[in-house]
Amino acid sequence: MYKKFMENGRSMIEMLGVLAIVGVLSVGGIAGYSKAMEQFRLNKVIGEYSMLIFGMLEHLDNFKNTKTGMTEEAEVFTVAQSLNLVPQSWSRINNLQYKDSLGNMIQLWILPEYGLAENAKVLTFDFYLGGVTPDNNNKNISANFSAKLCMDIYQKIAIPLHNVAWNANLYRSGGESHIIAGDKACDGTQKCLNNITLAEIHNICSTCTQGGELCAIAMHF
């Protein structure tokens, strides 16, 4: 009887051990799946950004001939839509701004006079990652800023375009902004897209993850 009792007890312990292992594997599997899906969504939106930016650069002169300024009369998105460069999954906020499938806000406009470009017109892409959220004081902040997406934008879009970009800056409303020059403005006195390291990009993107300020990546062409 005692032997049978011990065998039953051992069987129960073994069964609990198996269930524990299954549970750990299940949790690990769910975590792995979630991480893979997150990366899939990021890759998808990076592909959409690339299609938009590369397509617009092919027609850069046409875009520079549209109305200038950060106003409701901006025509950049209208022209981009006519060229089928705006993904169908994006939703229009106004003539100046669209929201992508992840809730990030993209703002396109023509800067009428850009000092680095000898006061010429410049095509501007502003990426408000995580969108724009009002805080308790009705001040706009980046409550859901994604450092991972920020890094992907620099690694997969800004850096490959270093030879045609004026810069790709990270602006912060509550702290020091980060100016990262393209080849056109790189004079050796600041960080440049053609020599910035992954560690530096990580540190720059991580400055906007506290949620108490408004942050945007601004790229000028």
Q: Residue 28's pLDDT is what? A: 58
Instruction: For 138-177, write each residue's pLDDT tens digit.
Output: 899 999 999 999 999 999 999 999 999 999 999 999 888 9
Q: Which of 55-59, 91-95, 115-119 has the lowest mean pLDDT?
A: 115-119
118 burial type by CB count under 10 A (0-12 exposed, 13-18 middle, 19+ buried):
exposed
Which residue, 79, 84, 90, is CA-closest to 44? 90
- b (16+ CB within 10 A) / e for 180-215: bbbeebbeeeebbbeebeeeebeebbebbeeeebbb
At residue 200, does pLDDT exceed 70? yes
In this prediction, residue 41 has a pLDDT band, given cuts at 50, 70 and 90, of confident
Q: What is the pLDDT of residue 5?
A: 43
Other C-beta atoms lying within 10 Å of the C-beta of residue 36: 10
Q: How confident is the model at residue 2 (pLDDT cuts 50, 70, 90)?
A: very low
What's the whole-model pTM score?
0.82
